[in-house]
């Protein structure tokens, strides 16, 4: 079974600074995808960024980027120029490639951006 671990229950950062959220996962498969989802207090889950395991290049989406270390099974999220609207729960998630897209989530990291 695949597992996802987020070891930081809570983090805080000052507005405009950079913060990195950690995630590790465990799988014996080679074909899989990794995600970071954001869940603001309004609770709608939003996809932040996605990484295909077969791609060596780290994914980036504007101020969000990942550091994907496949051998170490590590998938961290870096948020640059943090904004107040980035305050949310962040979930790391994993799914195997193929016809089934079952997402396995970590327990989440609550990020607070302070003014």
Partner 1 sequence: DAGVTQSPTHLIKTRGQHVTLRCSPISGHKSVSWYQQVLGQGPQFIFQYYEKEERGRGNFPDRFSARQFPNYSSELNVNALLLGDSALYLCASSLVPDSKQFFGPGTRLTVL
The phi and psi torsions of 86 (rounded to 5 degrees) equal -80, -10
User: What is the DSSP track for 41-90?
Assistant: TT---EEEEEEETT--SPPEETTEEEEEETTTTEEEEEE-S--GGG-EEE
Residue 99 as a binder of partner 1 (CB under 8 A): the answer is: yes
The residue range among 14-22, 36-44, 62-70, 72-80 that interacts with partner 1, by the rule CB under 8 A, is 36-44
97 binds partner 1 (CB under 8 A): yes
Both tokens assigned to 30? 């080679």
Indicate which single residue of 12, 61, 62, 103 sits in contact with partner 1 (rule: CB under 8 A).
103
Q: Would you count residue 64 as binding partner 1 (CB under 8 A)?
A: no
Interface positions with partner 1 (CB under 8 A): 4, 37, 42-47, 50, 91, 93, 97-108
């Amino acid at each position: 079974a695949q597992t996802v671990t987020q070891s930081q229950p809570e983090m805080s950062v000052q507005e405009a600074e950079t913060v990195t959220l950690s995630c590790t996962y465990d799988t014996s498969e080679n074909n899989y995808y990794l995600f970071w989802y954001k869940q603001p207090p309004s609770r709608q889950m939003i996809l932040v960024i996605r990484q295909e395991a077969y791609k060596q290049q780290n994914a980036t989406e504007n101020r969000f980027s990942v550091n994907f270390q496949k051998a170490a099974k590590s998938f961290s999220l870096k948020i640059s120029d943090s904004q107040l609207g980035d305050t949310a729960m962040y979930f790391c998630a994993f799914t195997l490639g193929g016809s089934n897209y079952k997402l396995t989530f970590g327990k989440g990291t609550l990020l607070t951006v302070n003014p």
